Amino acid sequence: MDYNTTQQTNESMNVSSSDERLLGMLSHLSIFFGGIILPIILWATQKDKSKFVSYNSLLALFYHISYTVLIIFYVIFMVVILLLMGVGFGSMHKHSGGDMPAVMIIFMIILYAGMFLLIFAGIGYGIYLAIKTYQGKLVSIPVLGKIVYKKVFGHDKY
């Protein structure tokens, strides 16, 4: 997309409104207090009024959904791995007095650290998106951003 088209798109969004920037920011910050409910409400009420709020609320909605699905898959992965390790170590060390092997403890620490890292990285990225949105910038998430942009603006970003 050339510069003139980008400029026209930015001008047609009226990003200068502090209310629109605030609503866009709140849709991303709903990761703390509203989950997917707040972005749905903001999108439903603002989709015809503001493309900026519509874009950010849909982006936040899809981000929250994909983030939640990713965490659910990780938890399922953790449970399966820990069950398999427990069964494996349980059968190997049946007569060892019931002590949990150090390898399993280390592996559990690594899995839990990965889960907390995933949670805090997702929340941190949501805060980053909220800050950039409040600054009036049209932020994008790698795969989701293109899909949402096309849905809201009717054409590809690039």
pLDDT in tens, 86-96: 776 666 666 56
pLDDT in tens, 12-67: 444 558 889 999 999 999 988 878 899 999 999 988 898 999 999 999 999 999 99
Residue 109: is its pLDDT beyond 60? yes
| Average pLDDT of every residue of the chain | 82
CA distances (Å), 1 to each of 4, 29, 81, 118, in order?
A: 8, 30, 47, 34
pLDDT recorded at residue 94: 63
Helices (H), the chain: 3-13, 18-33, 37-46, 51-92, 102-134, 142-153
Asked if residue 158 lies in contact with residue 2, where contact means CB atoms within 8 angstroms, the answer is no
Q: Say what the pTM is.
A: 0.78
Domain ranges of the chain: 3-153
